[in-house]
Chains A and B, each alone.
Chain A
């Protein structure tokens, strides 16, 4: 996993639920590319294609609330989104994102400072988001859990522990 993520942001509001991220009718898929074709489709047919022009999602409170569907984080990854920075995350999305190796950053201070299309840079190791010369700190993921992200998600993590013979 990259320590440094940089790119243009798309900005959402509060309470973006997982039904919006990927509708229930598409849960028949688990492949990131298939899911991405329908990601955020409920907001309009052109949305999935439009979001491909951005690298990072920024959102308000409670991003990913609602259903525990793991395909929400998978669909976002499938769009080519490299990270999600939100004021806060719903716990199911938080877990699923880690398990899916989608970097997530909880940074409420950034939200009001940014607008759609802005460039931001995230230093995961240092716990800092940079935007327009300003730096915003964020708490890291607990060390015991960060290992899952480092190994590229829970499936990889599990595979490596099984191979090492100590699940």
Chain B
């Protein structure tokens, strides 16, 4: 009894009856994700002379960053990853057409409540949107888990966040997370697990939950949990190979939390992260009128169908400011197809957007590079200096609604103005 979700999952995956924060366990992940970094893990296997995998069915490989290859070097590296997947019979292999690894793996039913998932990407925390423990590791460690099936993990303490009330029109999960990151800081949840609760959570879509679990990494979270409910079941069940594998893990009523924080969503306003750190957040009202040269709608944080649809609803029948380049990168093939069928892509393109193939795109510096002095507004999760090009360019982060309102004016704008208009 008295265990948090992280404690229960780490105990189960390390064969312990129970574990306590601070304890170090040898845990066996259910899934090891590697993306464009796969070739590096392959090189480690070669270097140490290993040629056997612990369990090939636990590997998932998705070529999402810099896809399709933009130089011969990337092409050669992707070839190494592809050949490895073929040679070892990796069934969960997704090539350059699929999209961002995190979204692809969740859409294909490879992530389920209670799973332990590690991968070559810090935003593995996103798997917590479905109740799985996801955490990022490096490529050498991925190779080690491929071969041995396990890795050491320290059992984290847990912070409990309770959400009440509802968002005002024009305010969304992205604004909540930017608010939290600004309030708690870039290491506010360092080495810790975060569990979300509260009446407001039940109303949130799976897409919003993904945004939350993804962004929590930017306050240092080791892993994040949005406890599964009927919405999780409804979204996931048609995607799972085996319905019986759906076994939600919940915290005990008397679980011990390091800290409990309550937030009233109705008190939140649209937020923006200013250059060059995500914790440098401000209400959008403080940066209104900031000129933008480029806007990026995409990423594992906000490149989902709902995100594209929110922007399209604002841009429908309007033209973006001619001084702005709007780049839209759907997060996955599934998302792109849905946006194509529903007309969302057409609306975005008619408004002046450039739509790219699904994947990480400009967030990972693939296309949409920024020149000296340019300013970008992005729905991604990082605004670090030089991340999207010149170290003399700057990146602001916002929600899809704020981005859409801003591209219409060519400057950072408050989306609530548009919603006020719509409700009259």
Q: Are A and B interaction partners?
A: yes
Chain A positions near chain B (C-beta within 8 angstroms): 14-15, 17, 19-20, 23-25, 27-28, 30, 41-43, 61-62, 65-70, 88, 90-92, 95-96, 99-100, 142, 144-145, 153-156, 158-159, 161-162, 167
| B32 sits at the interface (CB 8 A) | no
**Residues of B at under 8 Å CB distance from A?**
24, 37, 40, 43-44, 47-50, 54, 71, 73-74, 77, 120-122, 135-141, 143-144, 147-148, 152, 154, 186-187, 190-191, 220, 222, 277, 279, 364-365, 382, 384-387, 391
Asked if A155 and B382 sit within 8 Å, CB to CB, the answer is no
Instruction: Give 15 pairs: A residue, B residue, CB < 8 Å, sorted on A.
Output: A15-B187, A19-B385, A20-B386, A43-B385, A62-B190, A65-B186, A65-B187, A67-B122, A67-B382, A69-B138, A90-B187, A145-B24, A155-B48, A167-B54, A167-B147
In the complex, chain A residues whose CB is within 8 Å of the CB of B147 = 158, 162, 167
Q: Which residues of B contact A17 (CB under 8 A)?
A: 277, 382, 384
B384 A19 Cβ-Cβ under 8 A: yes
With beta carbons under 8 angstroms apart, the residue of A43, A91, A154, A162 that contacts B140 is A154
Chain A residue nearest in CB terms to B26: A144
Q: How far is the CB of B46 from chain A (nearest CB, A)?
A: 11
- B384 contacts across to A, CB distance below 8 A: 17, 19-20, 66
Complex CA–CA separation, A70 to B220 (angstroms)? 17
A99: which of B49, B141, B191, B222 is its contact (CB, 8 Å)? B141
A28 → chain B, closest Cβ, in Å?
5
**Known: A42-B385, A68-B122, A91-B222. Is A28-B73 also a contact (CB below 8 A)?**
yes
What would 17 more interface pairs be, CB under 8 Å, given A14-B186, A43-B385? Answer: A15-B187, A17-B382, A17-B384, A27-B37, A30-B40, A65-B187, A66-B384, A68-B122, A68-B138, A70-B40, A92-B138, A99-B138, A142-B24, A142-B152, A158-B48, A158-B144, A162-B49
* Cα–Cα, bound, A28→B66 (Å): 11
> Which B residues are CB-close (under 8 A) to A65?
186-187, 220
Q: What CA separation (Å) do A92 and B43 show in the bound complex? A: 20
- Bound-state Cα–Cα, A81 to B272, Å: 36
Residue of B49, B138, B144 touching A96 (CB-CB under 8 A): B138
| CA A99 to CA B40, docked complex, whole Å | 14
The distance in angstroms between the C-alpha atoms of A41 and B390, with both chains bound, is 11
Minimum Cβ distance to chain B for residue A13 (Å):
11
- The reply to whether B187 and A62 form a contact with Cβ atoms under 8 Å apart is yes
C-alpha gap A28/B222 in the complex (Å):
26
Give CA–CA (A30, B135) in the complex, Å. 22
* Residue contact B138 to A90, C-beta cutoff 8 Å: no
Report the nearest B residue to A25, measured CB to CB.
B365
Question: In the complex, A24→B187 CA distance in Å?
Answer: 22
Question: Distance in Å from the Cβ of B404 to the closest Cβ of chain A?
Answer: 26
Chain A residues near B141: list those with CB within 8 A. Answer: 70, 95-96, 99, 154
Let me know if A68 and B48 touch, CB within 8 A. no
Q: Which residues of A contact B148 (CB under 8 A)?
A: 158, 161, 167
Give A114 to B222 CA distance when docked, in angstroms.
30
Please name the residue on chain B nearest to A67 by beta carbon.
B122
Does B385 contact A70, Cβ atoms closer than 8 Å?
A: no
Complex: how many Å from CA A68 to CA B65? 14
CA distance A137 to B71 in the complex (A): 48
B306 to chain A, nearest CB (A): 25
CB-defined contacts of B136 to chain A, threshold 8 Å? 68, 92
Q: How far is the CB of A155 from chain B (nearest CB, A)?
A: 5
Question: Are the CB atoms of B385 and A155 closer together than 8 Å?
Answer: no
**Other-chain residue from B43, B71, B364 in contact with A24 (beta carbon distance below 8 A):** B364
Choose among A41, A70, A167 the residue that contacts B139 (Cβ–Cβ < 8 A). A70
- Smallest CB–CB gap between B83 and chain A, Å? 18
Q: Once the chains are docked, how many angstroms separate the CA of A167 from the CA of B144?
A: 9
Contacts of B40 in A (CB 8 A): 30, 70
**Across the interface, which residues of A come within 8 angstroms of B71, CB to CB?**
28
Evaluate contact between B187 and A158: CB separation under 8 angstroms. Answer: no
Residue on B nearest A61 in the bound complex, by CB: B187
Q: For residue B385, which residues in chain A have a CB less than 8 angstroms away from its CB?
A: 19-20, 42-43
Alpha-carbon gap, A82 to B395, bound state (A)? 33
Lowest 3 CB-CB distances: which A-B pairs, in order?
A70-B138, A68-B136, A62-B187
